Amino acid sequence: MVNVTKQQEPPQSVSECTPKNARMWIENLNVHFGSNHVLIDVTIPIKENSITAIIGPSGCGKSTFIRCLNRMNDIIPSARIAGSIYLDGRDIYDTTFEPYDLRKQVGMVFQKPNPFPKSIYENLAYGLRIHGIRHKTEIESRVVRAIKAAALWEEVHDRLHESAFSLSGGQQQRLCIARTLAIEPDVILFDEPCSALDPISTAKIEDLMIELKNKYTIAIVTHNLQQAVRISDYTGFLYLGKLVEYGDTKKLFTAPEEKLTETYITGRFG
Amino acid sequence: MEIQAMELSQTVSKPSHVHAQRRRLVQRVGISILFLSLLVAIFFLFLIVIFIAIRGAGVINWEFLTAMPRKSMTEGGIFPAILGTFYLALGAVICALPIGILSAIYLNEYAGDSLVLRIIKMGINNLAGVPSIVFGLFGLAIFVKFFGFGVSILSGSLTLAIMILPVIISTTVEALKSIPDSFREAGYGVGATKWQIIKGIILPAALPGILTGTILGIGRAAGETAPILFTAATFFSRRLPHSVMDEVLALPYHIYALMTEGTHPAQQVPIAYGTALVLLILVLGLDLIAIVIRTRARRRKLW
């Protein structure tokens, strides 16, 4: 077993960031599920136009962490969340911030592709309509633009009105990305988006994420270390609910500051 | 337990091939009993249908379906009873469907899980088992007398509506439960409110299940005699109903009336069987529609 009691202060490289220069800034985040202390004093930035990967062994709180960023944990009755999460300097847990508006700005792609039981077109149009966009031509142009941006247009342009379930798993996941893009968020959260996909579909989604970071701010949770190395600019290593280390992906994977990080990335546990 | 103990002692004392033979025999006898039970059940089910069909088919013709009864029900048709049953079932569905669906949505999506709610859910399920004559008495006391609707389509429909409410609520709850949570999660993910998710995603996906329950409810409402006995049905009417405050003839009650009232059993009994056949076809037809909707939805369902 690895000893983590040493970890007290936020990692060094975090302190360069402030709520002002990071797109999202998470400060002293603590999450309890009932009597379970799942996240402990996590402080980490999510920088603009880059990909931040959160790595760590199963059960370390990665998914819980990313689900705090768009308040998906609000749905779980036993969850208690303390600390601050800023989006462009504004606390997203502030009572004036409607979670529905937040989720429009901070989109999410889930572990298992979860298109709605609707047509390919309607999967995207639905999200637009619930945010009050009624004009048919606007919906149409935004749907097409989002499908193109998700690199799915070639494959689906002639069957937009077929069921989303007629697509392959990888295509469904890109449809879910398109669904998020359609509502034009600023930040996109990916919760292990490739864990249910084959290597070819995974490669397509990774390429897509690298492309998307030019326009969006991206955070991804992954248990696949190679994936974090391939696509991310910054990496945070979570272990037993604590942020052990955060920094440039290259540096974290080649010259980690913490012994624990080194043990994990060299595959000695987890 | 005793048999097991016996078998166990035999395995010790007798050679193994005798034991194997015995086990085969027990197995064969067991399967035969199961199969025979099934045969008995099927035999009676088919017997009812065939019996009614043979007795009733003779009187059914176009006039029987479209004409008024004549000469104190010894001649003519049963059109008013068909129409009456249609009105009653329609009225019951119009009343029960919105209330049933909306309360099912509340129960499944909003209510949470407190002790009181569990008791309510249990109560609803048990309500489905209350004998229909009890609903009839209730309808008489409340709708006919207290609200003063009299013996009318309105009273009968409301009574039937209360009777089929539990069916509609529990099938709708089941239909909503069968929708995976990942759809709800996806809905939250794009910033939908809970109500937007229910309205735009959950309800459309659950619609086939809800429809199935509704049709089964209509079938039940169309077939029951007791709830309309005191609240809506009449033995004889010179004219078709003009408003919801009129009393009506209805198929199940018509059968009852033909068999118990009147003075010409020789002419009335065949008409009763004809009426029974019409009712049977109507109810089985409704069930068939429900089955078709359900299987088609299942085939289409990919989650």
ipTM rounded to 2 decimals: 0.88
Give the angle B211-B225-B146 at the CA atoms, nearest 5°.
95
Chain mean pLDDT for chain A = 90
A77: closest CA among B251, B114, B157, B116? B114
A120 lies in some domain = no
Q: How far is CA B31 from the centre of its chain?
A: 32
Q: What pLDDT is recorded for position B244?
A: 86
Q: What pLDDT is recorded for position B17?
A: 82
Mean pLDDT, residues A13-29 taken together: 76
Tally the domains of chain A. 1
Residues of A in contact with B201 (CB under 8 A): 116-118, 126
Question: Nearest C-alpha of chain B: how many angstroms from A142?
Answer: 15
A199 lies in some domain = yes
Residues of B in contact with A129 (CB under 8 A): 200
DSSP per-residue letters across B64-122: HHHS-EETTTTEE--HHHHHHHHHHHHHHHHHHHHHHHHHHHIIIII----HHHHHHHH
Q: Is A176 on the interface with B (CB under 8 A)?
A: yes
Q: What pLDDT is recorded for position A18?
A: 64
Residue of chain B nearest A103, judged by CA positions: B191
A1 has pLDDT over 50:
no
Give the angle A200-A201-A207 at the CA atoms, nearest 5°.
90
For residue A126, give the nearest of B185, B200, B303 by CB distance.
Answer: B200
Residues of B in contact with A192 (CB under 8 A): none
A43 has pLDDT over 90:
yes
- Percent of chain B whose pLDDT exceeds 90: 56
B114-141 pLDDT per residue, tens: 888 889 888 988 888 899 999 999 999 9
A75 lies in some domain = yes
B2 has pLDDT over 80:
no
Q: Which residues contact B244 (CB under 8 A, 6 or more apart)?
A: B91, B152, B153, B154, B157
Question: Nearest C-alpha of chain B: how many angstroms from A160?
Answer: 18
- Spatial separation of the C-alpha atoms in residues B7 and B10, rounded to whole Å: 5
B92-117 pLDDT per residue, tens: 999 999 999 999 999 999 887 888 88
Q: What CATH number did the domain enclosing A83 receive?
A: 3.40.50.300
Chain mean pLDDT for chain B = 88
Q: Which domain holds residue A226?
A: 12-113+185-265
A127 lies in some domain = no
State phi, psi for B80 to the nearest 5 degrees: -60, -35
For residue B191, give the nearest of A116, A117, A130 by CB distance.
Answer: A130
Residues of B in contact with A112 (CB under 8 A): 182
A168 lies in some domain = no
Structure confidence at residue A95 as a pLDDT band (50, 70, 90): confident
B59 has pLDDT over 50:
yes
A99-143 pLDDT per residue, tens: 999 999 999 999 999 999 999 999 999 999 999 999 999 999 999
A165 lies in some domain = no
Mean pLDDT, residues B243-256 taken together: 90
A269 has pLDDT over 80:
no
